[in-house]
Amino acid sequence: MTADIFDVNKILKKYEYKDSSLIPILQEVQKLNEEKYISEEMAKYIAAEMKISKTRIYEVITFFSALNDKPKGKYFIQLCNSTVCEITDKDLIENALVSELGIQVGETSQDKMFTLEYTPCFGACDVSPAMRVNKVVYGNLTESKIKSIVSKLRGDTHE
């Protein structure tokens, strides 16, 4: 397990092992993991400690888009695929991302630098098409902006 059990137990205690606190519990546990996900082993541990089923844990992870059951890259790129972004060139932006990153939506690059996923609207419709990288919002995206953003994230000094 990548997260320290001592810290996980502290989180469980803080929320008194309550099922109603499962979302914040999982969010905090996920933050402990550098790869920003809840491993199967961890899901099993939390389920046992909270005396709930592992299925219940996965129901919450699946429902709540900020929770992950697979490791994420250093840069977690979430491309909005809700209506406003969809009609303002989201496909063009998606193609630019796929081409720049060399991965499809739902994948993580081999060097673990990037994960690309869809996300529902996160309130940046006024600057659509939009995406988030970790928690930073990028809007009014164009193909050249994507090239520049990816290049900066890679740490390239030339553009």
CB of 126 to ligand FES, least distance (A): 8
Q: For the chain, how many residues are written? A: 159
Q: Is 22 in the site for ligand FES (CB under 6 A)?
A: no
CB closer to ligand FES out of 27 and 82: 82
Buried b (16+ CB within 10 A) or exposed e, 117-151: bbbeebebbeebbbbbbeeeebbebeeeebeebbe
CB closer to ligand FES out of 37 and 138: 138
Q: Which residue has the tokens 């977690």?
A: 76
Evaluate whether 131 touches 125 at the Cβ level (below 8 Å). Answer: no
Site string for ligand FES, 65-104 (x = CB under 6 A): ---------------x-xxxx-------------------
Evaluate whether 134 touches 76 at the Cβ level (below 8 Å). Answer: yes
C-alpha–C-alpha distance, residues 53 and 49, integer Å: 10
CB closer to ligand FES out of 53 and 134: 134
CB of 153 to ligand FES, least distance (A): 20
CB closer to ligand FES out of 17 and 122: 122
- CA distances to 4, 5, 109, 145, 156 from 98, rounded to whole Å, are 35, 37, 11, 14, 18
CB closer to ligand FES out of 57 and 130: 130
The identity of residue 94, as a single letter, is E
Site for ligand FES in 102-131 (CB under 6 A): 121-122, 124-125, 128, 130
CB of 19 to ligand FES, least distance (A): 31
Q: Which residues bind ligand FES (CB under 6 A)?
A: 80, 82-85, 121-122, 124-125, 128, 130
